[in-house]
Amino acid sequence: MLEIRTLTKKFADMTAVDSVSLTIPEGSMVGIIGRSGAGKSTLLRMVNRLAEPTKGTIRFHGQEVSSLKGAGLRQWQASCAMIFQQFNLVPRLDVLTNVMLGRLNHIGTVRSVFKLFSDKDRMDGLLALERLGIEQTALQPAGTLSGGQQQRVAIARALVQKPKLILADEPIASLDPLNAKLVMDALKRINEEDGITVVCNLHTLDTARSYCERIVGMSKGKVIFDGGPNDLTTDEAREIYGAGDDFNEAATSTSISAAASEKTPEADIDEPAASGKVVNL
C-alpha cells in the first residue's frame, strides 16, 4: 500500500503540490488528471524521490521512503519504476542495452557502464521486449525507433527492474492515438497480470476513464476529486480542467477507439519519435 500524507513541494514562493494525502492499495491502477501545471508530475517525482518534499511523508508497505538515503534510497528507486513522457532512452545504444539499464540499481554503475550484464539479465530484457511485441528491435539503436516503440522500450526497462510500483508520467502525451492505445494496453496488462500498482499521470479524461479504476483530479497543486470513473461528473471535470460552461469532455480525447479501428499495431513503425520536450509541474 502506498500512503501519501500532507505531501507538499514549494519552489521559492510557488507551491507546486499542496498538502496532498492519498492511500493507494496494492494492485490498483490509478489515473491522475489535470491541466499542465496542476502538480501531477511533481507529485510522482516526489514519490520516486527524484524531487525532495518540502514537507509530508511517503510510506510504502509501512516503510517510510520520504527520508531514505544511500543504499536504502537506491533500493526504493529500484522497486519504484518511473516511465517518462520523453522516454529517457540513450539513442545511440541498442534497444536491449537500454532495457537492461533498468537493472542499474541492482548491479551497480560500473557493471552497467561497461555492459557487464549477466545472461539472466539479457534473457529478462528479451522477454520484456517480447511481452511488449518489439523483440525484433533488440539490436537496433534506440534512436531509430518510432515514438510508440521507444515508449514500449521504456516500459520494458521498467519491467526488468522487478518493480512493486510503476509511476508513469504522461506516458502517451507525445504519441498518436494508436500508439497511445498500445502503451496504455501494455500498462493495463502489467497491472492485471503481474499485480503491480500503476499510477499514471494523464491529460486526457477518456483515457483515465477507460483504463483506471480510480481517478484523482488535481488543480493548483491540490487534490479536488478522488473517486471512480463513473463518479466524475461534468461539473467536477470542468473544475479540474479550469474550463467554462462550454467544457466538452471530447476536447480532452485521444480518440483511441477511432484510431484503433482504422490502423494496425504495425503502423507505428514509420512514425517519427517526438523530439520536443515538455516540462510539467
pLDDT band for position 269 (cuts 50, 70, 90)? very low
pLDDT, position 204: 86
pLDDT, position 158: 94
* Statement: residue 26 has pLDDT above 50: yes
* Statement: residue 28 has pLDDT above 50: yes
pLDDT, position 145: 94
Residue 151's closest CA among 16, 274, 25, 27?
Answer: 274
Tell me the backbone φ, ψ of residue 57, rounded to 5 degrees. -135, 155
The model's pLDDT over 86-139, given as tens digits with 9 standing for 90+, comes to: 888 999 999 999 999 888 766 655 555 556 678 888 899 999 999 999 999 999
Class in CATH terms, 2-270? alpha beta
pLDDT, position 87: 86
Give 50: exposed, middle or buried? Use CB within 10 Å, 0-12, 13-18, 19+: middle
Report how far apart, in Å, the C-alpha atoms of 160 and of each of 5, 33, 101, 242 are: 29, 27, 9, 39
pLDDT, position 279: 40
Per-residue pLDDT, averaged over 155-164, amounts to 93
User: What proportion of the chain, given as a percentage, has pLDDT over 70?
Assistant: 82
Kindly write down the DSSP assignment for every residue of 212-268, as one continuous string.
Answer: -SEEEEEETTEEEEEE-GGG--HHHHHHHHT--TT--GGGG---HHHHHHH--GGGG
> Any bridge partners for residue 227, and if so which?
215
**C-alpha cell of residue 40:** 501531477
